[in-house]
Amino acid sequence: MNYFRRLILHNKDFILKEVLEVRGLLDLMLKHRHSGKAWTKEEKAEIKLHLKRISRTVPVVLIFLLPGGSLLLPFLAETLDAELNKKTI
C-alpha cells in the first residue's frame, strides 16, 4: 500500500491535471468523499473508463484498472481533493 501511495503522490500533479481536463470527472470522483454515498456500478465504470484514457499519459493510473484497483479509488479521490485544497488556499 505504501508503494501505491508513493506512486500516486509522486504523480499527483499530472493526475490532477488530467482529471481536471475531463468535465465532471473530479465531481464524480469526489462524490464518495464529500457525500459519503457509494459509487454505483455505472459510476465506477465511468471513472475506470476515464482513468483508462488518462493512463495513456500518466501510466501510474493503470493501478486503478487492475483487479481490485477500485478499492484504491477513495485514496486517489482523497489525494486529489487534498491537492486541490492546497492550490485554492
pLDDT at residue number 28: 92
Amino acid identity for residue 74 in this structure: P
Cβ 28 vs Cβ 46: under 8 Å: yes
Give pLDDT tens digits for 39-87: 999 999 999 999 998 888 888 888 888 888 888 888 888 888 888 888 7
Alpha-carbon distances, residue 71 vs 17, 32, 33, 39, 65 (angstroms): 22, 12, 13, 12, 10
pLDDT at residue number 70: 82
